[in-house]
Structure 1
């Protein structure tokens, strides 16, 4: 039941990164760099006034984030990602009745940030985003649906509040930032981003209660309960396109407070510490002519159907359902983002950053950001910055440790690469790369 969701998102993420790169949860560790420019706007639109560049032009940047609480990630065997987190060892899995899987892709297209004067700044951004959430699914059922072999033991699962979603959309944003208060010791900055949303569409499923029982000797899966399944008109996971775009609107709001030392030079050592708060990704896209089906899940089928049919095919061939056509609103991954950033000596900084989703899994269909908290020491200079974030992430019991570098027009990094390389317990991974044209003050 999960293969079509996971495989499609993984293939989509890999395609974007490979096609648009030379070789949240978005651009982890890099967004508080004073030279991050356009990339800071994905954290807080008020940071548009903090840039040390008179003009920052992003050419193309990609960030991908993927994780779960079921299976450890082994970077030495990336073929498992292409096969939907295939399970090859009992030692690496953490099977529960409510396992979770998640991922997102963020492609920041041609974008520009510039200052009108010392108080006012503007930015125009383009983005392509894809989100995937699969929540409260039994690990044994997931394994059965995502392995080509069937040596799995018998199981009997009761799953509550199951939900799954894939949503892909594009954004065109306009950001205005303003220095609201500025005196010898204090400054307050505000920012807002208004976004036009162009939705490519998505798929969604949910169940309040779903029972699943598997018999190994017969290879039969027996289910009971009910399942809601739907998709937007014309959406095809195997061929995602923007040929039938649906419109929506969104917004980001943010504030940043700074405490400054006396006689500070605002361009080269602008603050001693700063804190920020933002409300990100408010909005939704309305899809008319969406198909919604409610299935009575009283029945059985051969588990081999997982490898030969899509979820829709399994449901249509084995269960009775009622189909409805109407409008579906798919919400953005609305979250509260906050940070604190301390200036040690003008070159060395340490920051703390958090993200809290304010969307509930029961609000299906809606994309959901995972909760996280990150501490990042960094070395920051005009042409080079180095940062090493340490993160606690929802659903991942391991501490994520990463490394990133900005060198003039190029940025590359990961919030988890060091953990992924030295540990076999991490259950999430991410990577980003970007190319820009920075014009410094």
Structure 2
């Protein structure tokens, strides 16, 4: 399996928008009591006391991406007669510290089933690709992406630039168990142990980089230091899932339910709670790449910026214009460790409302690591055995508001955490979509 990449590292935001990618997975769907396998991604304790005898995932895909640098109007794209040009038609919001992010998550063949009255197990396969570029100067980015084809001078001061692209596969074994079950109180716990197979990584870091561009002479003068690295045998033009390296990871979670009206007539096929609280930490761990290349460049130089359009990628531009010191090291790439908190309230009948928070436990400027973007999502839903309808409303990091819709119809699920806001907004900064097909075996 291969994933193709454009190799101007900082221009990967184009890939995010071109593929409609956006940084949580399956927004709105995972809180459904019938989400099954998908719910294990945010909290492994959901494997126990589910509404299924067994749940078998065939294939599910979730993609999430965006930037606080670009704002686009979906209606302008739809109504454009001559095609939408991101460079000229998109609204731009350059700052001293812009961010770009992509999260693509593919759930392969996976299953979960009840092992005993007090325990359940699951088996999950995933392929994931994450990209984070943090604290990049927006004006520098714009000129770099346009090969410095500008008639105006500009200065920049950039601090704590970091960027990591990482692609990996994982196989997870999930175990969940009842901890407490009294008349009104119920507590369960779960954990996922993951065997990771890393496909490759690119990373860039600069604690401080200042400079100026002279338009008349087409020269770029910079001062500072920049670190650029790749995993062993990493091909800038594609990430190959054939030569893999190993790592280990884990998720852990708990769910408490308050059950004021539990009776003997309510069985596993029924929701019994008035409200429940779930808490989890996901993606603990890392992938270790042996013989990774890390080059530290001395950026104290004046270079001919017009040569950028002739360079194949940023690595070639750095090698041809700056002095670098290369080291071969064993490099760990950390997973996007995150904390998740869910409060779900049963309104009446088949109506529920949930509030979910997702918070990265990885600092923005961390080198050799990916992170999710922080978000808070309020999601009302209609939930039945064969059909669920939900409409999540989110506030996402970097000030973006998202309003989406999704549905589950038996074995099919489809939705987006931002489709409504994308359609009505004149300048949306994030977008996401997901769909999946499974075989649910209900209680």
Normalising by structure 2, what TM-score?
0.92
1:5 to 4, 9, 17: 9
Structure 1 stretches of 4+ with a deviation exceeding 6 A read: 12-17
Kept in 2, the 8 Å contact 1:388–1:404? The answer is yes
Kept in 2, the 8 Å contact 1:48–1:122? The answer is yes
Question: How many Å separate the matches in 1 of 2:52 and 2:334?
Answer: 34
Unaligned runs of at least 5 residues, structure 2: 1-5
1:48 alignment partner in structure 2? 47
1:422 alignment partner in structure 2? 424
> Which runs of structure 2 are paired with 1:104-123 in the superposition (5 Å)?
104-123=103-122
1:410 alignment partner in structure 2? 412
- CA offsets per residue over residues 184-239 of structure 1, 9 Å max, x none? 11100100000000000100010110013122333322211100110000112322
Report the CA distance shift for 1:393/1:334 in structure 2 as closer, same or farther (over 3 A).
same
1:328 alignment partner in structure 2? 331
> Which runs of structure 2 are paired with 1:84-95 in the superposition (5 Å)?
86-89=86-89, 92-95=91-94
Report the CA distance shift for 1:108/1:16 in structure 2 as closer, same or farther (over 3 A).
farther
Kept in 1, the 8 Å contact 2:225–2:299? The answer is yes
1:187 alignment partner in structure 2? 186
2:281 alignment partner in structure 1? 279
1:383 alignment partner in structure 2? 386
1:317 to 273, 298, 320: 320
Question: How many Å separate the matches in 2 of 1:306 and 1:194?
Answer: 45
Report the CA distance shift for 1:177/1:346 in structure 2 as closer, same or farther (over 3 A).
farther
Kept in 2, the 8 Å contact 1:46–1:177? The answer is yes
Kept in 2, the 8 Å contact 1:13–1:64? The answer is no
| Displacement after TM superposition at 1:243 (Å) | 2.3
Residues 104-113 or 354-363, more deviating: 354-363
Kept in 2, the 8 Å contact 1:9–1:132? The answer is no
| SS of alignment partner, residue 88 of structure 1 | helix
Report the CA distance shift for 1:275/1:379 in structure 2 as closer, same or farther (over 3 A).
same
Report the CA distance shift for 1:13/1:239 in structure 2 as closer, same or farther (over 3 A).
farther
Question: How many Å separate the matches in 2 of 1:127 and 1:16?
Answer: 20
Report the CA distance shift for 1:275/1:63 in structure 2 as closer, same or farther (over 3 A).
same
| SS of alignment partner, residue 77 of structure 1 | helix
2:3 alignment partner in structure 1? none
Kept in 2, the 8 Å contact 1:13–1:105? The answer is no
> Which runs of structure 2 are paired with 1:41-440 in the superposition (5 Å)?
41-75=40-74, 76-77=76-77, 86-89=86-89, 92-147=91-146, 150-151=149-150, 153-264=152-263, 265-266=266-267, 267-309=269-311, 310-395=313-398, 397-440=399-442
Report the CA distance shift for 1:284/1:341 in structure 2 as closer, same or farther (over 3 A).
same
Unaligned runs of at least 5 residues, structure 1: 18-23
**Aligned-residue CA RMSD in angstroms?**
2.3
| Displacement after TM superposition at 1:409 (Å) | 0.9
Kept in 2, the 8 Å contact 1:347–1:381? The answer is yes
1:21 alignment partner in structure 2? none
Kept in 2, the 8 Å contact 1:400–1:419? The answer is yes
| SS of alignment partner, residue 248 of structure 2 | strand
Kept in 2, the 8 Å contact 1:3–1:146? The answer is no
| Displacement after TM superposition at 1:301 (Å) | 3.0
Question: How many Å separate the matches in 2 of 1:318 and 1:410?
Answer: 52
Aligned residues: 429
